[in-house]
Structure 1
Amino acid sequence: MIIDDEPKQRLGLQTLIPWSDLGYEVVGTASSGKEALQSLEQDVPDLLVVDIRMPGMDGLQLLQEIRQRGWKVHAVVLSGYADFEYARRAMQYGVEGYLLKPVNKQEMSALLEKLHARLVEQQAQQNKTYTREWLVYSLLSGSLDEKEDLDKLSASLGLVWSKYQIVLLDFSGIGSEEDERIVRFRERLNKICASDRNSVVLSMTSSIVLLLGRLHAGKFERERFYREMYLLAEDLRDEMNMAAGEVVHSLSEIPMSFHTARSLLDRSFFYDRGQLLTPETPVCYSMVDQRGEIPAKEDLAFRLSYYVEVGQTEMIRTLLDRIAARMVHQGEGEEEVRKRFFYLASEAVRNVPVKVWDEAGYEGGGASLFLANLSGARTFRELVDKVGDVLERLARCTNYCSRGNEIRRMLDYIDRHYEENLKLETLSEVFNYSSSYLGQLFKNETGEYFNAYLDKVRIEKAKQLLRQGMKVYEVAEQVGYANVNYFHHKFKKLVGHSPSSYQKKADLKNDGAYRNDWRSWNEKCQN
């Protein structure tokens, strides 16, 4: 029960803290100590979250009244005042913790998690009934009392096995372990395991935990076990991930197996779906060449966009697979992988015309829908496939594959991307040639060196912009020269005049042409 006189605080605590994930249910709220007492007379929950400062009966007076009545209830006290006296008085009433407002989610969740373990243990001790589920949970949560004799407990509960292994079935995509689908699945699993003395089933947060004594050794056994769980999951199949920890030889070691399985699930993005994950399961792209460093993201984006624009479909998937393999090999995290591939995808399609999207079958906001769809990828391979499928489809619609040789493609690309930081070294990687060989090939085909040709294209574009009246420094930047002095030097060398001088002459020429046209038109009118 949450007791606070501020409505926003009561609502905030209900939504901020993941109660069900921590093993709790909020059964009620109260806006004052008196209102809380009235509810407690009907039903006493396990835990009260109490604000100290409330009108009428405050939090401390409420706790004092509860203790006098002999109600056994745990309490966590909240206060906006860092007052030692309040804390001291609260501790006299046996509260579990004293937290300051505004509540820190991580701090409160950690406190509630520790308290939950004690509540489970206390309930078991009060009932004087030890269950197999209680013992496994106590070992995995670290809440087993050191005074307990593990050997005697495990013997009395029939948990003395030669080997043990933890299997986790995870449904992290579902918000609550009380989701009806998970509840039904857990019930079906409990029925199957009820007669099996070599298995224990319990729930922890959004996972179902299986402790197995009859192990699934070998690939065939693991595949069979996965199929059984897959069929049993029914409407949860698309949400389920499954992992098994290592085999251990004593009950006290099962936390090791649990943490291994948990680690595998935490990295499930990097494994192919449809299998039971084990420490021996290879990550995806493990068979792809992983050698070498990952090039700068700008270089990778350039190569992908080039492949799309010139229709080199066969190179797109090869490059994406190599990037993926190297990121896996270097231990990149899921967040970094998603960011990198979203950047590459957005850059690769940035200049794709709308008509190409339409021809590829993505009418109506193709680029935005494509990028938004990437967030739904559950695994690394699915993410790569989503990017690769769309880029390959776009590349086929550019219809460049039937055009001439590589040099013709390069010339066309230069003409459309002259303002970018084009380098022969980058293009040579795209075509899988050495830069010296590609440079010589370019010279043989065009009669000019690559950089000289690029300068000519840029200067011709610059002349057009100068005639339109743009400022010299703006033109320099527009055609790909970061340094205006260098642009001035190149322009004068190729044109014979400085950019400003050329612009003045162009203006005079245009003005003279205008006067001649006006004079001719005037003479015609007089005639």
Structure 2
Amino acid sequence: MNKRRVLVVDDETIFRRGLRHLIGTSGLNWEVSAEAKDGLEALEEIGRCRPDLVITDIRMPKLDGIGLQETIRQRYPEIRCFVLSGYNDFHYAQSSLRFGARDYLLKPVDKEELYRVLRQVEKELDERERSASPKPSALAEERGRLLDGLVRGELPHARLGDLRGAGIEFERGVYALVAELDKDSVEPKRYESQAADLFALYIRQFVEESLAGVRSGFVFRRGDSVVALLDAEVSEASRRDIAALAQRIAAKIHREADLTITIGVGGGVHGVEEISKSYGEAKIALLYRLTAGGNRVLLYEDPPRQEPGAARTQLTSRHVLEHSLLEESEDELAERVRGGVEALCGSGASPAVIHEQISRMLLEAYALAADRGLQGDWPEGREIGGALSEALSISSRTELALYCAELMRSLHRRLRSSDEGGSVHAVDRVVRHIEEHYAEPITLGGMAELVYLNASYLSSLFKNRLGRSFVEILTEVRIREASKRLLGSDEKIAAIAYETGFSNIRHFNRVFKAETGRTPKEYRETLRGGRLNV
């Protein structure tokens, strides 16, 4: 009997050798036919030797184990695959990621557990070969592409034959479900970027297992979401049954995996041409996680819920943003933003109102960055449109609050590192400008534009920084310069008034007396003995 072939993928040579030894001395009908040090090399080996099983580590350079699994699932669905990792964040996965599609074992590998898995995989392969030949990889890839096209609404009626050829048929109607992980239900150390996809893989496997033998349909991933298209009659009774089924799935995954998901359920539709409508409704329903919180099933309602118009956040005010960005510390700003977004989401406002407020806040922040020439640096590495799109795609209030807080943190750092960033710099620059250009027309609005601030906010900065208003500082500088000229020159008082920024002699006389207690003429005559002719 020909031995079953195993491909071992790990970036540690000693571990690959160790697995080769364990499998070679197992006495089982398995042999290591090839090794690879990363996911890209593994794909080359798969194309060359077509193994029956791939054993892969998660954390590897170039292409990690999660990406490798996804590629194998799309291109080579007949190949079994399971994961090994030294990180035990996913111990719960062993209860569900079983041998038909994935398994998850921890390093160091227990020899008997490895042999048990090999026996089980061989049994499944033998049964599959007896019952039917494996489906070609091209068919699985085409099915995934067609399902994605259905939910996007990009599959024309003329291509219904393509759906049947890929085995995609719905006898009655269709309900779309969209499930997403509540990231705030996972400890940060358990949700690491390189292994994040495993959560979506696990949720998909869990949903598939929960639906097996209960509801016919198709389950697939779209990014971080898991989509289920269920075959069911379009009726209120079906809607209730599907909602109850979704509740059981959510409760079970919470109980067995110690994490929570939220599921959006769209309305029923009668044909595949309308699947995108049900999917869109499920996504809309999922947005209400912003206001209702996670760990629940959210049904699309028609008509939509009322939108309270009073829900607002002060963070959409440019004055408030400027104050927080320039006056508060980075941590204070982040906490203000996080708390403001959390409060907005908890206010009873609809997702549409929340998104409108979030968009206004981020656009105001972008305007502040652009005023200072920082639009190329913030949002970091993205256009503002991309940052907005990402914010509006988040349906978890905690995740949205943290996302906005981190964006504002990065802007705060950019402003503080800029020459014109801080409140002290802004006030000092205006004062310097006044001292150098006091003879020219100077207004608060003009100075605010000079330092890229709101006029009312600049006025408040003057009082906070110097204890006096902008007008008081401007007047002080002009009167000081006028006094010097009155004592040190023979110019006429009217000329001095114009040359120190006063628009007319009458206004100059009034202001000068208010500041010094004397008229310009009295000031000159008193201090110079009345010798000069005016």
Give me the TM-score of the superposition, normalised by structure 1.
0.36
